[in-house]
Amino acid sequence: MFLPLRRLILRAALLLAAPGTVFAQGDHAAASDNSSFWTRWIRRSERNKAEQPHWLTPIATTTPRLEQELRYDIDWSQARPGMPYTTTFGNTKGLELIPFDDVEIIFGIPSYVAHGDPAVSDGWGDAQLLVKYRLLAADQAHGDYILTVFLSSSFPTATEGNGQPRAIVTPTVAYGKGWGDFDIQGTLGVTEPVGSTSAIGRTYIWNHTFQFHALEKVWPELEVNQAWFSGGRNDGKSQTFLTPGVVIGRLPVTEAVGLTVGVGVQIAVSAFHTANHNYILSLRAPF
């Protein structure tokens, strides 16, 4: 599972770091055209990123910023103390691209869910597609703020019951404001099943991240992740996690590709919670 991911990252890094070399053995005119395409793509990406705050993406909260990167997260969660941990490889992260001005598309690779309980079957989770549209943004010199809307869709591709039986759409508003080395990023959204709503239920989600630029490449943070359930098996209940963590980056790998690493732990602070002490490792290759 890890080998194909590593090959994908290396091939993407090679293509982005030196796009013309991929076509070195092919037709010269075709290489020129393709190099021009990637040059325009990277210029558009850099322009869009320059027009917004220069914070780092939090560990659990989806950033309102537009990013272009490969991302792979691993999550270890435990329903109750003493129970085996469930490991989620990928955690619906994947390829993030800026194909147009003010637009980002995230192609979420289905997670692989490994249960520590032999009585529960391991398997693949649901695929996800997320589209961002940036409404307002300013860099640090001009206000350091951003306002974005998302539309996320998950698709029932899971195996062995490791996902939802129906597609789910999640409209979201995301926002952020910075003051020097301190920033707040947040999202407010609701999950809406495409059918079987009473059985699956809706979830209202509100995330806040308080982030501090402590050193040149070190960003400690505290996230507040809240959810309210309407319908489904958790109808009328709510849960709150505090997620302390730190994100380190961007560390240069090549001239065009970097590396960012984040670690954190979600700690339940509400009486009701579906899990507790969820450990998260986040690996990103921005380009």
The pLDDT score that the predictor gives to residue 243 is 98
The pLDDT of residue 82: 81
Residue 196 has what pLDDT? Answer: 87
What pLDDT is attached to residue 94?
96
Q: Residue 35 has what pLDDT?
A: 66
Nearest to 130, CA basis, from 188, 88, 175, 172: 172
Q: Express each pLDDT in 70-106 by its tens digit.
A: 999 999 998 888 889 999 999 999 999 999 999 999 9
Spans of all domains in the chain: 2-286
Where are any strands of DSSP class E within 79-126? 86-90, 94-100, 103-108, 112-115, 123-124
Whole-angstrom distance, CA of residue 70 vs CA of residue 68:
7
CB of 277 closer than 8 Å to CB of 79? no
Q: What is the pLDDT of residue 185?
A: 98
> In which residue ranges of the chain is pLDDT below 50?
1-32
Class of domain 2-286: mainly beta
